[in-house]
């Protein structure tokens, strides 16, 4: 299959791209600074990317920036920033990408464990992850032409050592294992699922 991975220079997107390539897929690696550049906060940029690459069998989005702050310090702008940087960015991949996918294609988004387990400073991220996971359940029911949609929702990655102190007692997951969840989403039959790991 030919697969677009957005966020491919990142930890999660890189793991997804590597796992898909190891499975035998042709992977187009895009990100904000890649040669295959896209800014998910700019709908025109997403449209231009899909026009540039032509048809792909599946799309993976592994992007999302959110502010981490104590609940009492989170401002309305912080919540807006979490929404724009993680939720709207990935919703636009679905909205703009869907017409470019062939029948039976798929979209896989990235959320995270904060949708189901709290940490200190994680409220805005939890909001973003939960919104996307609810969206995936509903969108799967309405996507046309046998298109599928899932989310991969990892705990903190083993390699993301800078975050480990914020996740006390959590058992990190290796990037390679997270990558395999994207292979399952792209090559499996599931839709409307959240792959939690």
Shortest Å, Cβ 67 to ligand NAP: 12
Q: Which C-beta is closer to ligand NAP: that of 64 or that of 105?
A: 64
Contacts for 95 with CB less than 8 Å, ≥ 6 apart: none
Nearer to ligand NAP, 145 or 164 (CB): 164
The SS3 call for residue 84 is helix
- What span, in angstroms and rounded, lies between the C-alpha atoms of 15 and 174? 9
Q: Which is nearer to ligand NAP, 139 or 156 (CB)?
A: 156
Shortest distance, CB of residue 16 to ligand NAP, whole angstroms?
9
Q: Which single residue is written with the structure tokens 């995270």?
A: 112
Q: Which C-beta is closer to ligand NAP: that of 31 or that of 108?
A: 31
Question: What minimum distance in Å lies between the beta carbon of 11 and ligand NAP?
Answer: 4
Which residue's structure tokens are 């600074």? 33
List residues binding ligand NAP (CB under 6 A): 6-13, 31-34, 38-41, 62-65, 86, 110, 112, 154, 156-157, 160, 163
Which residue number has the CB closest to ligand NAP?
10
Instruction: Please name the residues in contact with 77: beta carbons below 8 A apart, sequence gap of 6 or more.
Output: none
To the nearest whole angstrom, how small is the minimum distance from the Cβ of residue 13 to ligand NAP?
5
Q: How far is the CB of 38 from ligand NAP (least distance, A)?
A: 5
CB of 57 to ligand NAP, least distance (A): 20
């Amino acid at each position: 299959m030919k697969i677009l991975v957005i966020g491919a220079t990142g930890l999660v997107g890189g793991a997804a791209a590597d796992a898909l390539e190891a499975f035998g897929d042709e992977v187009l690696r895009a990100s904000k600074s890649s040669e295959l550049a896209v800014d998910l906060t700019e709908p025109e940029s997403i449209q231009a990317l899909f026009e540039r690459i032509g048809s792909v069998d599946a799309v993976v989005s592994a992007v999302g920036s959110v502010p981490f702050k104590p609940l009492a310090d989170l401002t309305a702008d912080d919540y807006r920033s979490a929404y724009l940087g993680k939720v709207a960015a990935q919703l636009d991949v679905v909205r703009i990408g869907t017409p470019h996918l062939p029948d039976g294609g798929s979209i896989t988004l990235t959320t995270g464990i904060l949708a189901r387990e709290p940490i200190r400073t994680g409220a805005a991220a939890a909001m973003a992850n939960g919104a996307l996971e609810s969206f995936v359940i509903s969108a799967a029911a309405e996507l046309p032409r046998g298109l599928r949609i899932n989310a991969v929702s990892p705990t903190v990655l083993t390699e993301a050592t800078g975050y480990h102190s914020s996740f006390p007692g959590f058992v990190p997951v290796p990037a390679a294992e997270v990558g395999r969840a994207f292979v399952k989403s792209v090559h499996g039959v599931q839709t409307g699922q959240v792959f939690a790991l």
